[in-house]
Amino acid sequence: MSNERKVLIYGASGYTGKIIAQSLAQRDILFYMSGRNEERLCKAIEIVEQRHGASIDAKIAVSSNSAGELRPWFEQVDVVINVSGPFMQLGWPIVETALACGCHYLDTTGEQDWTRAIAEKYGQAFADKGLLLAPATSYMWTAGALAAEIVLENPEIDSLDICYQIDHGLPSEASTKSFLRMVCNEQLYLELNEYKQWEWDTLQNVTVPYRAATLRAFPWGGACEPIWYKDDPRVRNCKVVTAFGEHMVDGVAAAIEKFREEAYHLPQEQREAWTNAMGDAMDSGEPPKDTLDVQRSVIVASGQGRRETNQYVFNVSAPYTWTGEISAESTRLLLEGKLLKPGFQSPATAFNHRELIETFHELGFTSAPPAPGSI
């Protein structure tokens, strides 16, 4: 890769930030590790180097998330990767400054409302500059979009039904607060090209083709696939649910019920404070780095059309580590000028979805793409 430092991770000292840093280092991509606290950033570099097994070429960029402090750093780079959540609360200055400085913007959000909000406000502006605006460049929700693109290779298909299934999930502190925002705010799916809202307390039994028992699943914030496909002429309907592990289902259901009782009637600002406080109460510290043989996942993407149905079962192991991989691989492709579509896009449409899946299969994270026309 180039010896120029053209990438910045904002929020780099957190759990996901360190994972992305390691994935960039494995690709010999130089980057800045940015955030508010220099001491935490220094410790993060030490942890990344221990995991990487060698020194990494990273520089520290201390900055709050104010535009005035961000701009001098963003003016030096081409790609900004934002991992500072909850994104609806913290992300606005980061995406705005990226646009102003001519940077591609990636983040690792799972928050559907954030994805929709920045698409509506900034999607066209990024496209006009030839820049990528790719929230949820992460396991949630890029894995489902990659699976969906395989299903949509059949031109008969116009409807998507996607289920994420995860074993032994390990939510980080930021993820905990984000998913509470997700499940305690409006959750949307796509029906006949229009948004529809899930019931707040939806919990449904789902079947996956490799398990004998049914599993319980939530809309989990509605996901980003309905937002990415809202104006895609190939798609009329899109629903996403997540079976994230029986060890977490009851706790999340109880949190949603508590929200309905205590905070549903409050103004939005107070609702956000409530979910943050609940997230603090649920947080058990930074989890260990996930592994391929423990944190396994499958995304089942089912397609339907007038005359045909199909299904693609997509293995994605170690979801957090894979988040680092999809962020780093997307960055590599951007730096090499391989962006296919600018503006508001998932990585599955910004780049070649089959090439991405094949790359991750070779790295040991995912199943291989099926032969064209085989599903």
Among 248-252, 260-264, 293-297, the range scoring the smallest mean pLDDT is 248-252
Rounded Cα distance, 249 and 206, in Å: 13
CB 367 within 8 A of CB 313: yes
CB 334 within 8 A of CB 344: no
CB 81 within 8 A of CB 8: yes
pLDDT score of 170: 67
CB 245 within 8 A of CB 227: no
Which residues have CB under 8 Å from 167's CB, separation 6+? Answer: 245, 294, 295, 296, 297
pLDDT score of 174: 64
The residue-averaged pLDDT of 219-230 equals: 95
Task: Give the pTM.
Answer: 0.94
pLDDT score of 284: 60
Share of the chain above pLDDT 70, in %: 97
In the chain, what are the domain boundaries?
Answer: 7-138+319-362, 153-315
pLDDT for residue 237 is more than 60? yes
Class of the domain covering 7-138+319-362: alpha beta
What is the residue whose two structure tokens read 């059949």?
A: 154
Rounded Cα distance, 272 and 289, in Å: 28
- The CATH homologous superfamily for domain 153-315 is Dihydrodipicolinate Reductase; domain 2 (3.30.360.10)
pLDDT score of 257: 86
pLDDT score of 173: 60
The residue-averaged pLDDT of 55-61 equals: 97
Residue 25: pLDDT band with limits 50, 70, 90: very high
Residue 29: pLDDT band with limits 50, 70, 90: very high
Torsion of CA 212, 246, 360, 304, to 10 degrees: 60
> Around Cβ 311, how many Cβ atoms within 10 Å?
15
Phi, psi of 213 (to 5 degrees): -95, 155
Rounded Cα distance, 156 and 146, in Å: 18
Closest CA to 56 of 12, 14, 11, 26: 26
Share of the chain above pLDDT 90, in %: 77
Q: Which pLDDT tens digit goes with each residue over 131-168?
A: 999 999 999 999 999 999 999 999 999 999 999 999 98
Residue 253: pLDDT band with limits 50, 70, 90: confident
